[in-house]
Chain A
Amino acid sequence: MIIAVILAAAGPLAGTLAAAGGARARQAGWAGAAGAGVALGSAVYLLAAQLHHAPLRGWGGFLYVDSLSCFFLLTVAGVTLLAAVGSVAYLSAEEDSGRLSRFQVRLYFIFFGLFASLMLASFETGNLGLLFVLIEASTLASAALVGLEARASSLEAAWKYVIISSFGVTIALAGTLWLFYSASSLHLAPDLRLTWPYLFIHAHALAPQSLRLAFLLAVVGYGTKVGLAPMHTWLPDAHAEAPSPASAMLSAALLNTGMYAIIRFLAITRARLGDGYPRGVLLAFGFASIVIGVLFMVRRGNFKRLFAYSSVEHMGIIAIALGFGGVLGMYGALLQILNHAIAKAVLFLSSGDVALRYQTREAAGVRGLLAAAPVTGAALLLASFAALGAPPFGVFLSELTIVRAGFAAASPVFPLLLLAMLAVAFVAFARTTAAMVTGEALPSPSPYRGRGAGLAAVAPLAVGLAALLVLGLWIPAGLNAVILHSVGFLT
């Protein structure tokens, strides 16, 4: 059990070690992918074990793995595997063409592994202070990925990212401090004071006033990492400037890590203060994010920015689902987290392929992708529809659940508004991606040398799309049980 816990967090470090030892893009990439595979395997094992056992605890509350942790471990480890395989193709193409130096490539793999490991480890701790430490450390590790290409624009994006996120997370630390204040009347041993399961069990004894402040500060602070509007301003820049597999990690893993922290605070707050207050906070930030995300998606331009604003929109949907609450709302939120993660990983990985082929990130510079690169084009098109919530993909199912939760929980105005925004998002997003894949093909030489790299570029797209399709039609029993179990104690 403990070994699985360690492997689930430390697996991706294989790529870091290989790169630190001087391996080139191909070897370091495959080492990282193997490590991510080990992490995913361990996550699946933990998930299966979790179904029949009580939550795993140890080290004075610093280690705590319950079904919610397992769900997030599975999601992020899965995304890490897809992005790690995509990294092999992307980085070896960049290295072969000389656009990135060997030093930059090594730096990429060192920080990629570190970034993934820190996020995975943050799901395994029950101590909210340590959660802060790990999330802040993952910000720092990923800043190097954003600024990797060292152009003026990528340094600017990295600066914006690191300063805004660090400030935001420090605000979340202040929130953690207030939670700590609110628990000071509890007679818990010092080590357990910040430990989530104990705070959750004793939620009824927390001081309500300081808990309100703690929740608000945590949503603002960790919401900065999630990309909730109006704290989202770093997000489109960082996603657009990072190498594409790193963008996939930011969008599909990092944002979810922030959301995980918010869910932990939400559970305690809901247990003490009831539904009303957290719902108000989450609906306000959620709708702000959807409106901002959709408005900026209307603009046609850099396609990676388009995907980034779609992430802002999706995080808004998830915040709204958490705000609706109830079994349906929480179920929908968790399912949406998984589906969005896979869809966005596929979208960003295919955008990496497009960027390598055409050497542009402007949508106007890309036409006829279906004819020029059928697999990438099809993946881009299908993943766009999946991300927008078209059936039969998983996102359709989770968004339907969320809308139903809205009708069950709050006034019908909210779910109707949500549906209207989703319709606008569909038009805004699809008109850009549809123009990219259709039309006459522009000449685009394959950027990959060797069969291994070509396969590494295509395989994660196919696997991701297949997973999305499966999740739209059938939710595996184990996954369903773990989500229901998490929902059970969250509501």
Chain B
Amino acid sequence: MQTLSAASTAGVLLDLSGVLILLLAFACLGSKLFNRYVAYYGAQSVVLSFAAGVAAFTFHSVELWILAVATLAIKGIGIPVSARRLLVQRLELSRDTALSTGLSTSLIAGGALTAFAYLVTRPQLLPHGVVAAAVVPLSTAVILLGGLAMVVRRHTVAQLIGWLIVENGVFLGAITLVATFPFIVEAGIFLDLVAGVLIMLVFVSGLTRRLASASAAELRELHG
């Protein structure tokens, strides 16, 4: 069984990447501008691909190298660039006004969720020595923060970014298990993500054309 201790260089780098990813999720939660959302998500994905690269280097795993490169190319560059072109420039979205709580409230809630993530993923939950255990609560916190962003933001684009952050959190949790999550599964998850973003972008632009702004706050027709 391959192990990864927290004291090794790779372990430290992975922990550091996890912390950066969490901070970028907070940055996204504390922002009000659409191009910032996209930029923070892109930066988060770049850090994630770095983490995958570290894991790949440590375990000499070709598959993880492929995933790291794909993460960088698609999540780090492809999605942010195309999202910026399509949504921010073509649909002329700049400020997100459809927040259901103030920024400070959502940041405090985010802090509480992070504490909660550390409470539920106590180290004794995890088998010893197999995974970079410190990354697991971080990844749980990122998942929860992404969910929070989807709840407090009512704009469809912001919800899409929230889902992508949740996805990044799960991916972070998966690479800590390095070299064991079957490659076909990882690749399939990736394909789903890309297809999901494409389909959602179609709906977002469709909704933007129908409604003045594609805010879920205006999605009131269906109820009961």
Instruction: Show the binding face of A for B, using Cβ within 8 Å.
Output: 60, 62, 127, 129-130, 132-134, 136-137, 140, 143-144, 147, 150, 152-153, 155-160, 162-163, 166-167, 170-171, 173-174, 177, 180-182, 184-185, 187, 190-191, 193-194, 207, 209-210, 213, 236-237, 240-241, 296, 299, 301, 305
Contacts and interface: CB of A to CB of B under 8 A. Distances in A.
A180 B181 contact: yes
Given A155-B210, A240-B222, 4 more contacts: A140-B199, A152-B207, A190-B182, A236-B224
Interface in B105-149: 120, 124-127, 130-131, 136, 140, 143, 147
A386 to B, nearest CB: 25
Contacts of A137: 188, 191-192, 195
Contacts of B199: 140, 143-144, 162
A169 to B, nearest CB: 9
A156 B126 CA distance: 41
Contact of B196 (A162, A174, A305): A162
Contacts of A153: 221-222
B196 A166 contact: yes
Given A143-B199, A159-B207, A187 B1 contact: yes
A194 B185 contact: yes
B188 A174 contact: no
A133 B192 CA distance: 7
A127 B183 CA distance: 12
B177 interface: yes
A159 B177 CA distance: 33
Contacts of A60: 182
Contacts of A305: 224
A241 B222 CA distance: 10
Contacts of A130: 184-185, 188
Interface stretch (B27-35, B50-58, B80-88, B155-163): B155-163
25 contacts: A127-B182, A129-B189, A130-B185, A130-B188, A133-B192, A134-B188, A137-B195, A152-B210, A153-B221, A159-B207, A160-B222, A163-B159, A167-B150, A174-B170, A185-B127, A190-B180, A190-B182, A193-B182, A194-B181, A207-B125, A210-B125, A213-B120, A236-B224, A237-B222, A240-B222
B181 A167 contact: no
Nearest to A129: B185
A69 B218 CA distance: 42
Nearest to A190: B180
Given A140-B196, A140-B199, A177 B170 contact: yes
A132 B1 contact: no
B156 A167 contact: no
Contacts of B177: 177, 180-181, 184
Nearest to A169: B192
Contacts of B156: 159, 163
Interface in B157-206: 159-160, 163, 166-167, 169-170, 173-174, 177, 179-182, 184-185, 188-189, 191-192, 195-196, 199-200, 203-204, 206
A256 to B, nearest CB: 20
Residue of B124, B173, B199, B211 most packed against chain A (CB within 10 A): B199
A163 B180 contact: no
Contacts of A144: 199
Contacts of B219: 156, 159-160
B200 A163 contact: yes
Nearest to A159: B203
A213 B189 CA distance: 21
A184 B130 contact: yes
B215 to A, nearest CB: 11
A301 B150 CA distance: 30
A156 B221 contact: yes
Contacts of B124: 209
B135 to A, nearest CB: 12
Contacts of A133: 185, 188-189, 191-192
Nearest to A163: B159
Residue of A156, A166, A236 most packed against chain B (CB within 10 A): A156
Nearest to A309: B224
Nearest to B189: A133
A77 B30 CA distance: 48
Contacts of A296: 224
B189 A173 contact: yes
B196 A136 contact: yes
Contact of A193 (B169, B180, B206): B180
State the 7 A-B residue pairs at the shortest beta-carbon distance, nearest first: A129-B185, A133-B188, A152-B210, A237-B222, A136-B192, A156-B219, A184-B130
A170 B163 contact: yes
B185 A140 contact: no
B157 to A, nearest CB: 11
Contacts of B131: 181, 184
Nearest to B143: A174
Contact of B203 (A158, A167, A210): A158
A160 B224 CA distance: 14
B196 A299 contact: no
Nearest to B203: A159
A463 to B, nearest CB: 32
A20 B25 CA distance: 41
Nearest to B206: A155
Contacts of A237: 222
Contacts of B206: 147, 150, 155
A189 B124 CA distance: 24
A57 B184 CA distance: 17
Nearest to A59: B184
Nearest to B173: A177
